Structure 1
Amino acid sequence: MNKIKWLVMFFGVSVLLGGCATNRGATIAEQRQAILQMKGEVLSELYSLNPSTRAQISSAPGYAVFNNANVNLILASFGGGYGVVTDNRNGKNTYMKMAEVGLGLGAGVKDFRVVFVFHNADTMQRFIEQGWAFGAQADAAAKAGEKGAAVAGEVTVDNITIYQLTESGLALQATVKGTKYWRDDSLN
């Protein structure tokens, strides 16, 4: 019976991540447009929460915006999402995907957005080409739409300033996780 519960939970998590981590739209153009719309909404929210980020992003060589769904099950954390890197020097967009897995204590589901501000072009290019990120995370979120509260933050690592905004979810976690970002070949 215990195996059946784990199988049902795994299936449920897979369906949830699959639904949250895919962009909307049937055609390539619709998928790109959905990602650009998400980027615009996230940037508007970030600018309203922290107005100084507008100047920081516009003066940087580039930035990235990602939509991520994360599920924590006792000792494991799984996530997936999509996003776009924008090169401010030439306006080029590189569409990307992401996946993450982690170990640590946690429980819950969290839908969040991440903005990366690249402080030099080499760091941005390395992110596009290699895309790995590894780190520890500790946060708490209890938010649904406009209701609730979320702890989000800003951190600067390797010439990248990272902002995280929680969209919705209920989660408490302390994990060490690895995240892989890679080009979405079907959209580039």
Structure 2
Amino acid sequence: MRPHFRYSTLLVLLTQVFLLAACAAPGQTRDEQRQHIQQTEREVLDALYRLKPDLRSDVAKAPGYAVFSNVNVNLLLASASTGYGVAVSGSGERTYMKMGEVGVGLGFGVKDFRALFVFDSPAVMNRFVEHGWSFGGHADAAAKAQDKGMAVGGEVVADGMRVYQLTESGIALQATLKGTKYWKDSALNFD
């Protein structure tokens, strides 16, 4: 086996271990993990409302929304992300969820970002919670470290939902084709 191949294989395995470990919300107990997700939800909504004040009424009128925290790692020809979040119906019912993403394409970097999904109908929200599969191309350039750098929160409209993204920290330059899966977190949804 060539040394280059062994190094690449080790790097891929280490990245996979990191991503699997990062999929769960921080906290030792289910209640701590739920509290962390709810705190992230409040922070994301507050930040987006400051950037786009009219979004507050859109979220209030929507049949539901979801907020996710995500870490993305892109190493040359492959990228992977993992995260957690919550979907909230118009009636206030919460469904805690996880997410995972894999992609192929050129890029390099690590990025920590938050996303808000605003659903246009109960059927779209139900499809997202029950099936939650997304696939598409993605081009990104972000550079931010704590309060320094640039982060762009944009709006993407797709499949009956609007998606807003905030970059928290990291640096990334990538153009990838990704598949993303969102699913219910069985450990946090059942008592």
Q: Which TM-score applies when normalising by structure 1?
A: 0.94
Q: Which moved more, 1:44-53 or 1:14-23?
A: 14-23
Partner residue in 2 for 1:57: 59
Distance 2:28 2:128 in 1: 28
Matched-pair contact (CA < 8 Å) for 1:80–1:98: yes
**Unaligned stretches of 5+ in structure 2?**
none
Partner residue in 2 for 1:143: 144
Query: 2:189 matched to 1:167?
Result: no
Partner residue in 1 for 2:83: 81
% identity of equivalent residues: 55
Over aligned residues, Cα RMSD in angstroms? 1.3
Residue 109 of structure 2 aligns to a residue whose secondary structure is strand
Distance 1:152 1:58 in 2: 19
Shift of 1:4: 3.5
Matched-pair contact (CA < 8 Å) for 1:155–1:162: yes
Partner residue in 2 for 1:21: 23
Residue 179 of structure 1 aligns to a residue whose secondary structure is strand
Matched-pair contact (CA < 8 Å) for 2:103–2:176: yes
Deviations 1:97-123 (A, max 9, x none): 000011111111111111000010000
Residue 188 of structure 2 aligns to a residue whose secondary structure is coil
Partner residue in 2 for 1:107: 108
Paired AA for residue 76 in structure 2? I
Residue 84 of structure 2 aligns to a residue whose secondary structure is strand
Partner residue in 1 for 2:96: 95
Partner residue in 1 for 2:131: 130
Distance 2:180 2:131 in 1: 11
Task: Give the aligned length.
Answer: 187
Shift of 1:11: 4.1
Deviations 1:75-108 (A, max 9, x none): 11101000000002x2110000000011111111
Shift of 1:15: 4.6
Shift of 1:31: 0.9
**Unaligned stretches of 5+ in structure 1?**
none
Deviations 1:25-58 (A, max 9, x none): 1111111111101111111111111111111111
Distance 1:71 1:116 in 2: 22
Matched-pair contact (CA < 8 Å) for 2:152–2:165: no
Paired AA for residue 114 in structure 1? A
Deviations 1:104-149 (A, max 9, x none): 1111111111100001000000101011011111110110111101
Matched-pair contact (CA < 8 Å) for 2:146–2:168: yes
